[in-house]
């Protein structure tokens, strides 16, 4: 199980002060430095979400990170012509197609791949033609997994938000749902990733799921980094993922 570190919230902090002056010589924090620190700590990739409203990651960030990171770039994006064109120019190793709602604080729920297959198919085909591996951020639902398989994506990323927010008997139900979804996706030949709401406590349940190849974690790691520093925060999460902490 590998770790992709999502650095969107580092960009959120930068935008709070420097949105109007992104070329300022004192503009901070620096996403390139943050990505490098994550890689030094053992991250296997850097994840960023270029949203249509540009609330955190900016176009310039995507190109700078493409040039600087030494692992892989995973670009999360909505299925829009503008962002697709940018992805095809940048050519990240991976693209994860996600739902996007301007009113949301962060991505809420998985992509309805089953209901949007006709709209998704051309984007998936163009990304594949450019040599980019494609993932869909979906609920752990058999219909959505089957849709991803029909679309020919290499991967799915199971949305773990419902699990992260569940308590009591509902939590066991969400773990079971993720377990069954991981088995189904793996059986169809899909790489199984997971993300959303995973933290330093619930990672123990996620670690026990079958066939999870990669986790994409942002908020919890960045929050922990405020106390211990980014490299230590990433290293601590990796130790928990490996069961050595």
- State yes or no: pLDDT of 104 exceeds 70: no
Nearest to 216 by CA among 229, 234, 228: 234
Active site residues per annotation:
49, 76, 196
- State yes or no: pLDDT of 58 exceeds 90: yes
What is the reported pTM? 0.95
CATH number of the domain at 2-242, out of 3.40.50.1970, 3.20.20.60, 3.20.20.70, 3.40.190.10?
3.20.20.70
Q: What is the pLDDT of residues 29-44, one digit of tens each?
A: 999 999 999 999 999 9
* Average pLDDT, rounded, for the chain: 96
Contact 207/234 with Cβ under 8 angstroms? Answer: no
Structure-block tokens of residue 16:
């709070």
Question: What count of other Cβ atoms lies within 10 Å of the Cβ of residue 72?
Answer: 17
Nearest to 52 by CA among 107, 9, 100, 120: 100
Contact 237/217 with Cβ under 8 angstroms? Answer: yes
Distance in angstroms (rounded) separating the CA atoms of residues 74 and 71: 10
Distance in angstroms (rounded) separating the CA atoms of residues 194 and 178: 9
Domain extents for the chain? 2-242
Radius of gyration, alpha carbons of the chain: 17
How much is the average pLDDT of 215-233?
98
Tell me the pLDDT band of 25, cut-offs 50, 70 and 90: confident
Q: State the pLDDT at residue 22.
A: 81
List phi, psi (to 5°) of 4: -100, 125
Q: What is the DSSP string of 122-181?
A: HHHHHHHHTT-EEEEEE-S-HHHHHHHHHHT-SEEEEE-HHHHH--THHHHHHHHHHHHH
Q: What is the pLDDT of residues 128-162, one digit of tens each?
A: 999 999 999 999 999 999 999 999 999 999 999 99
Q: What is the pLDDT of residues 62-96, one digit of tens each?
A: 999 999 999 999 999 999 999 999 999 999 999 99
Report angle CA 137, 78, 153 to the nearest 5 degrees: 45
């Amino acid at each position: 199980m590998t770790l992709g570190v999502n650095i969107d919230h580092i960009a959120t902090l930068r935008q709070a002060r420097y949105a109007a002056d992104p070329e300022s010589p004192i503009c901070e924090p620096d996403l390139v430095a943050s990505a490098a620190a994550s890689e030094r700590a053992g991250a296997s990739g850097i994840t960023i979400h270029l949203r249509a409203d540009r609330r955190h990651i900016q176009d310039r960030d995507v190109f700078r990170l493409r040039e600087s990171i030494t692992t892989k770039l995973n670009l999360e994006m909505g299925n829009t012509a503008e962002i697709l064109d940018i992805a095809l120019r940048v050519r990240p190793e991976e693209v994860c197609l996600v739902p996007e709602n301007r009113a949301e604080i962060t991505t809420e729920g998985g992509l309805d791949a089953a209901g949007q297959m006709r709209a998704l198919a051309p984007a998936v085909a163009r990304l594949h033609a450019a040599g980019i591996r494609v993932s869909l951020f979906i609920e752990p639902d058999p219909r959505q997994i089957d849709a991803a398989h029909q679309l020919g994506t290499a991967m799915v990323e199971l949305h773990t938000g419902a699990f992260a927010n569940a308590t009591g008997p509902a939590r066991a139900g969400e773990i079971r749902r993720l377990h069954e979804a991981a088995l189904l996706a793996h059986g169809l030949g899909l790489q199984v990733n997971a993300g959303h709401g995973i933290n330093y406590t619930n990672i123990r349940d996620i670690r026990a799921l079958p066939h999870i190849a990669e986790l994409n974690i942002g908020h919890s790691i960045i929050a922990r980094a405020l106390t211990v520093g980014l490299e230590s925060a990433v290293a601590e999460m990796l130790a928990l993922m490996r069961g050595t902490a």
